[in-house]
A and B are shown apart, each in its own frame.
Chain A
Amino acid sequence: MDLDVVDKLVIGLQTAFTLHNLMYCFFGVFLGTFVGVLPGIGSLVTIALLLPITFHLEPTPAIVMLAGVYYGSAYGGSTASILLNLPGTPSSAVTCIDGHEMCKQGRAGVALLASAVSSFIGGGIGILIMMMFSETIAEFALEFGPAEYFALMLLGLIAASTIASGSPLKGIAMVLTGILVGIVGTDVNSGAYRFTFGSNELTDGITLIGPALGMFGVTEVIASIRRLKSGAITRNVSMRSMIPSRDDMRRFWGPTLRGSGIGAFFGALPGTGGVLASFMSYAVEKRVAKDPARFGSGAIEGVAGPEAANNAADQTAFIPTLTLGVPGSVVMALIIGALLIHGIVPGPRLVLDKPDLFWGLIMSFWIGNVLLLLLNIPLIGLWVKVLAIPYHILYPAILMFVCIGAYSINNNHFDVILVVVFAIFGYVMRLLGFSPAPLLLGLVLGPLMEEHMRRALVLSQGDFMTFVNRPVAGSFMAFTFLILIYMIWTTIKEARGTTKRATSRTDSPTGRSAADVDEHVGPRHG
Chain B
Amino acid sequence: MTRSRDYTDILAGCVLVAIGLFAALYATKNYDIGTVEEMGPGMFPAAVGWVMTAIGVLIAAPAFFRLGEMPRPEWRPAIMVIAGVLAFAATVDVLGMVTALMLLTVIAVTADDKLGWKGALALAVGITVLATLIFRVALEIPLPLFKWGF
- CB of A433 within 8 A of CB of B9, answer yes
Q: Cα distance A526–B60 when bound, in Å?
A: 23
User: Which B residues are in CB contact (< 8 Å) with A397?
Assistant: 127, 130
From A282-290, A348-356, A421-429, the one touching the partner chain is A421-429
Q: Cα distance A454–B47 when bound, in Å?
A: 13
User: Which of A395, A396, A423 contacts B82, CB < 8 Å?
Assistant: A423
User: Which B residues are in CB contact (< 8 Å) with A495?
Assistant: 62
A170-B59, A454-B39 as given contacts; A396 in contact with B105, CB under 8 Å: yes
User: Which of A176, A393, A417 contacts B55, CB < 8 Å?
Assistant: A176
> Which A residues, 149 to 176, have Cβ-Cβ distances below 8 Å to chain B?
167, 169-170, 172-173, 176
- CB of B48 within 8 A of CB of A176, answer yes
- CB of B45 within 8 A of CB of A416, answer no
User: Which of A172, A179, A222, A390 contacts B78, CB < 8 Å?
Assistant: A222
Tell me whether A51 is interfacial, beta carbon within 8 Å: no
Tell me whether B64 is interfacial, beta carbon within 8 Å: no
Q: Cα distance A7–B100 when bound, in Å?
A: 51
Tell me whether A432 is interfacial, beta carbon within 8 Å: yes
User: Which A residues are in CB contact (< 8 Å) with B90?
Assistant: 413
Tell me whether B101 is interfacial, beta carbon within 8 Å: yes
In the assembled complex, how far is the CB of residue A518 from the closest CB belonging to chain B, in whole angstroms? 18
Tell me whether A402 is interfacial, beta carbon within 8 Å: yes
In the assembled complex, how far is the CB of residue B87 from the closest CB belonging to chain A, in whole angstroms? 10
Q: Cα distance A194–B27 when bound, in Å?
A: 8
Q: Cα distance A363–B35 when bound, in Å?
A: 48
**B contact residues, total (Cβ < 8 Å):** 68
User: Which of A56, A194, A226, A432 contacts B74, CB < 8 Å?
Assistant: A226
**A contact residues, total (Cβ < 8 Å):** 62
- CB of B82 within 8 A of CB of A407, answer no
- CB of A462 within 8 A of CB of B55, answer no
**Chain B, 78-114, contact with A by CB distance < 8 Å: what is the 0/1 string?**
1001101110111011000100110011001101101
- CB of B112 within 8 A of CB of A225, answer yes
Q: Cα distance A146–B119 when bound, in Å?
A: 57
Q: Cα distance A458–B39 when bound, in Å?
A: 9
- CB of B52 within 8 A of CB of A176, answer yes
In the assembled complex, how far is the CB of residue A290 from the closest CB belonging to chain B, in whole angstroms? 46
- CB of B81 within 8 A of CB of A399, answer yes
- CB of A420 within 8 A of CB of B82, answer yes
**Chain A, 475-516, contact with B by CB distance < 8 Å: what is the 0/1 string?**
000000000000000000001000000000000000000000
Q: Cα distance A73–B135 when bound, in Å?
A: 23
User: Which B residues are in CB contact (< 8 Å) with A464?
Assistant: 36
Tell me whether B71 is interfacial, beta carbon within 8 Å: yes
- CB of B82 within 8 A of CB of A424, answer yes
Q: Cα distance A420–B86 when bound, in Å?
A: 7
Tell me whether A199 is interfacial, beta carbon within 8 Å: no
- CB of B108 within 8 A of CB of A396, answer yes
Question: Chain B residue with minimal CB distance to A432?
Answer: B12
- CB of A413 within 8 A of CB of B74, answer no
User: Which B residues are in CB contact (< 8 Å) with A332?
Assistant: none
Tell me whether A6 is interfacial, beta carbon within 8 Å: no
- CB of B71 within 8 A of CB of A431, answer yes
User: Which B residues are in CB contact (< 8 Å) with A457?
Assistant: 36-37, 39
User: Which B residues are in CB contact (< 8 Å) with A431?
Assistant: 8, 71-73
- CB of A173 within 8 A of CB of B55, answer yes
- CB of B19 within 8 A of CB of A400, answer no
- CB of A432 within 8 A of CB of B85, answer no
User: Which of A56, A393, A417, A453 contacts B44, CB < 8 Å?
Assistant: A453
Tell me whether B25 is interfacial, beta carbon within 8 Å: no
In the assembled complex, how far is the CB of residue A395 from the closest CB belonging to chain B, in whole angstroms? 7
Question: Chain B residue with minimal CB distance to A397?
Answer: B127
In the assembled complex, how far is the CB of residue A98 from the closest CB belonging to chain B, in whole angstroms? 33
A399-B108, A420-B86 as given contacts; A183 in contact with B131, CB under 8 Å: no
User: Which B residues are in CB contact (< 8 Å) with A458?
Assistant: 37-38
A400-B130, A416-B89, A454-B39 as given contacts; A222 in contact with B45, CB under 8 Å: no
- CB of A180 within 8 A of CB of B23, answer yes
**Chain A, 391-419, contact with B by CB distance < 8 Å: what is the 0/1 string?**
01101110110111001100111001101
User: What residues make up the interface of A, taking CB atoms closer than 8 Å to B?
Assistant: 53, 56, 167, 169-170, 172-173, 176-177, 179-180, 183, 187, 189-190, 192, 194-195, 218, 221-223, 225-226, 390, 392-393, 395-397, 399-400, 402-404, 407-408, 411-413, 416-417, 419-420, 423-424, 427-429, 431-434, 450, 453-454, 457-458, 461-462, 464, 495
11 contacts between A and B (CB under 8 A): A56-B141, A190-B32, A195-B26, A222-B111, A223-B77, A392-B115, A399-B108, A400-B105, A432-B8, A432-B9, A432-B11
For the complex of A and B, list the 9 residue pairs with the smallest distance between their C-beta atoms, beginning with the closest.
A462-B37, A416-B89, A462-B36, A432-B12, A431-B71, A187-B41, A192-B41, A225-B77, A392-B114
Q: Beyond A408-B141, A427-B73, list 5 extra A-B contacts (CB 8 Å).
A: A176-B48, A180-B45, A195-B45, A397-B130, A407-B92
